[in-house]
A and B are shown apart, each in its own frame.
Chain A
Amino acid sequence: MTPPSSTPAPSNGLAFLLKNRLYHTLSEVGDAFRLLAETIFQIFRPPLQFDLLMKQLLFVGFNSLSVVLVSGFFTGMVLGVQGYVQLKPYAVEGSVAQFVSVSVVKELGPMITAFVLSGRIGASITAELSTMKVTEQIDALEVMGTNPVKYLVVPRFLACSFMLPTLTIFSTFAGIFGGYVAVVTLFGFNGDFYILQVQQHLFIGSVFISLIKATSFGMAIAAVGCYKGFSISSAGGAEGVGTATTGSAVISLITILVLDFFLNHILFNLLGLS
């Protein structure tokens, strides 16, 4: 009586499947960018609900601060040890502080923070929004005349865009400190010299790069998280929520890596920053 829910796709081999897959992915990327555009449009349409923003800022910030600090610290330690060991044969182990601080500021600080937040915050955004979708809460918002993008996406987007650079500052300091602890305790490196070197190599340009990257990663995490949450089929159920949530974490990790590559290219090669 009921027609079959979907007609099986005619499979003409691998090329067809790939084409299909590519088409699907591209149309998803298009939808995600449409959501991003709508979000940015809604940010500038008053009123901005500060209570919602505040709640998200606290959620993103407090929830991840300790993990970010610990991850940053250990990354710094690893870098310190590796840097020292690798530089020693060339008798330039004295530059280890420069090596640690430059890597942490320009690459690993934003990256580690973004990785932590894509697993914690991005996934939880997707879980929350997709649950709201399958339990008709998004429809309920809409019926009550509230724009779900403005009400749900805007505060999360702003909170991530702001909190990622903020947390990156913490993870960066933790990383530099981790390197310090590693080389000073393990190799008897001179602590004062380490600090001096860090001061000499911490340029304002690097900090700028770090914050630009972190902000972009924050936007990407929120955009992917919200898009994956909203795009679940309302008939998806609990299983759909699970799939969307893991999907969100994976996609934002990949997005961060790709974005990092392009940002490096734009910032270093095109704008000539270093």
Chain B
Amino acid sequence: MISIRNVRKSFDEKQVLNGIDLEVPLGETLVILGRSGCGKSVLLKIIAGLLSIDGGEVWVDGTEITKLKRKQMNQIRRKIGMLFQSAALFDSMSVAENIAFMLDQHTDLSQQEMRKVVDEKLKLVDLDGVQELRPAQLSGGMRKRVGLARALAFNPEIILYDEPTTGLDPVTCNEINELIRDLNKKLQVTSVVVTHDMHSAFSVGTLMVMLHEGKKLAYGTPESMINEDNPILQQFILFGAPDQILNIDEPTLRKYIGRSTE
């Protein structure tokens, strides 16, 4: 569904992505791991066609998107829903107007029909009765949910999540994780999730990739990531992961966690 080939991207002199290859097959959820500033958001924005690249190819649903004209790109974008790190709700609009934005811009649906979609999407993210509120009146968790409802409004085939749980309390985090997992099951979408949160990563991911210094450090299923013999990756997983989701009896892990019995 999404295929990234040898993508390079730099800002001014600074190389952010230095030859990244990635595959996200239909229906899978890829989790992108990596330290702050390593280019995770940049990669997500490249997939959404928001940033140009310096080299390589990006295929979305069978189309190479990096050289598309805006009009053709917009056709692809109708299949993409994106939840931004800051939720990026439009301050000047109510929650309902935010969620109905794409419908309002690209369809001839009546106000009533749009209302119906808004209510339905809000139910999907477990919110109700906030339709007329302004984004500024919402809590962080609610904003993320509304952002997600907006991303779902056009029934996307691909959903991109930029740090969906960062800055939320543990309970809300967990709710959002469940939401993402549920959506992927219910809607059969292909997803890419950027996160630092190991709990989130292991609870939603079916595939994982770790970026480090512009390169792909490791890529595979969650199980294979745990078994990967790479100190940077293991530190990343271990410092963030609660013991419960890791198999502490795993020899590789034991080595890095410093609880080796040998």
**A residues within 8 Å of B by Cβ?**
1-3, 5-7, 131-132, 135-137, 139-140, 142-147
| 5 interchain pairs, CB-CB under 8 A | A7-B13, A135-B88, A136-B88, A144-B154, A146-B101
The complex places the Cα of A140 from the Cα of B91 at a distance, in Å, of 12
Apart from A5-B14, A136-B85, A139-B48: 6 A-B pairs, beta carbons within 8 A: A1-B213, A3-B14, A131-B91, A135-B88, A145-B77, A145-B102
A-contacting residues, B35-52, CB 8 Å: 37, 45, 48, 50
The complex places the Cα of A131 from the Cα of B90 at a distance, in Å, of 11
Cβ contacts under 8 Å, B48 to chain A: 139, 143
Interface of B is mostly: loop
Cβ contacts under 8 Å, A142 to chain B: 50, 77
Q: Of A2, A7, A132, A144, which is within 8 A of B101 by CB?
A: A144
Q: A135-B88, A139-B50 are in contact. Are A145 and B37 (CB under 8 A)?
A: no
B86 to A143, Cβ gap below 8 A? no
Cβ contacts under 8 Å, A139 to chain B: 45, 48, 50, 84, 88
The complex places the Cα of A34 from the Cα of B34 at a distance, in Å, of 37
Looking at A5, A6, A131, A143, which has the most chain B CB atoms within 10 Å of its CB?
A143
Cβ contacts under 8 Å, B101 to chain A: 144, 146
B116 on the interface (CB 8 Å rule)?
no
Q: A1-B213, A143-B77, A145-B105 are in contact. Are A137 and B37 (CB under 8 A)?
A: no
Cβ contacts under 8 Å, A5 to chain B: 14
For A144, give the chain B residue with the smallest CB separation: B102
Nearest Cβ distance between residue A229 and chain B, in whole angstroms? 14
Looking at A7, A139, A140, A147, which has the most chain B CB atoms within 10 Å of its CB?
A140
B13 to A140, Cβ gap below 8 A? no
Cβ contacts under 8 Å, B102 to chain A: 144-145
Q: A1-B213, A6-B13, A7-B13 are in contact. Are A145 and B78 (CB under 8 A)?
A: yes
A143 to B91, Cβ gap below 8 A? no
Nearest Cβ distance between residue B34 and chain A, in whole angstroms? 12
Cβ contacts under 8 Å, A135 to chain B: 86, 88, 91
What 0/1 readout, one digit per residue, does chain B (133-164) give for beta carbons within 8 Å of chain A? Answer: 00000000000000000000010000000000
What 0/1 readout, one digit per residue, does chain B (5-48) give for beta carbons within 8 Å of chain A? Answer: 00000001111000000000000000000000100000001001
A137 to B88, Cβ gap below 8 A? yes
B186 on the interface (CB 8 Å rule)?
no
**B residues within 8 Å of A by Cβ?**
12-15, 37, 45, 48, 50, 70, 74, 77-78, 80, 82, 84-86, 88-91, 101-102, 105-106, 154, 213
A-B residue pairs, 5 tightest by C-beta: A136-B88, A145-B74, A140-B88, A136-B84, A143-B82
For A49, give the chain B residue with the smallest CB separation: B105
Nearest Cβ distance between residue B56 and chain A, in whole angstroms? 21
Nearest Cβ distance between residue B66 and chain A, in whole angstroms? 15
The complex places the Cα of A136 from the Cα of B48 at a distance, in Å, of 13
Q: A1-B213, A145-B77, A147-B70 are in contact. Are A140 and B82 (CB under 8 A)?
A: yes
Cβ contacts under 8 Å, A137 to chain B: 88-91
For B76, give the chain A residue with the smallest CB separation: A145
A136 to B77, Cβ gap below 8 A? no
Cβ contacts under 8 Å, B82 to chain A: 140, 143
The complex places the Cα of A210 from the Cα of B15 at a distance, in Å, of 52
The complex places the Cα of A160 from the Cα of B15 at a distance, in Å, of 41
The complex places the Cα of A2 from the Cα of B74 at a distance, in Å, of 35
A140 to B77, Cβ gap below 8 A? no
For A55, give the chain B residue with the smallest CB separation: B92
For A1, give the chain B residue with the smallest CB separation: B213
A146 to B88, Cβ gap below 8 A? no
Nearest Cβ distance between residue A138 and chain B, in whole angstroms? 9
Q: Of B15, B70, B80, which is within 8 A of A143 by CB?
A: B80
Nearest Cβ distance between residue A150 and chain B, in whole angstroms? 10
Cβ contacts under 8 Å, A132 to chain B: 91
B37 to A2, Cβ gap below 8 A? yes
B14 to A140, Cβ gap below 8 A? no
B12 to A6, Cβ gap below 8 A? yes
Looking at A2, A132, A136, which has the most chain B CB atoms within 10 Å of its CB?
A136
The complex places the Cα of A3 from the Cα of B12 at a distance, in Å, of 13
For A139, give the chain B residue with the smallest CB separation: B50
Cβ contacts under 8 Å, B70 to chain A: 147
The complex places the Cα of A3 from the Cα of B15 at a distance, in Å, of 9
B13 to A144, Cβ gap below 8 A? no
Cβ contacts under 8 Å, A136 to chain B: 84-86, 88
The complex places the Cα of A6 from the Cα of B12 at a distance, in Å, of 8
The complex places the Cα of A223 from the Cα of B85 at a distance, in Å, of 29
For B78, give the chain A residue with the smallest CB separation: A145
Nearest Cβ distance between residue B74 and chain A, in whole angstroms? 4
The complex places the Cα of A207 from the Cα of B91 at a distance, in Å, of 40
Cβ contacts under 8 Å, B14 to chain A: 3, 5-6
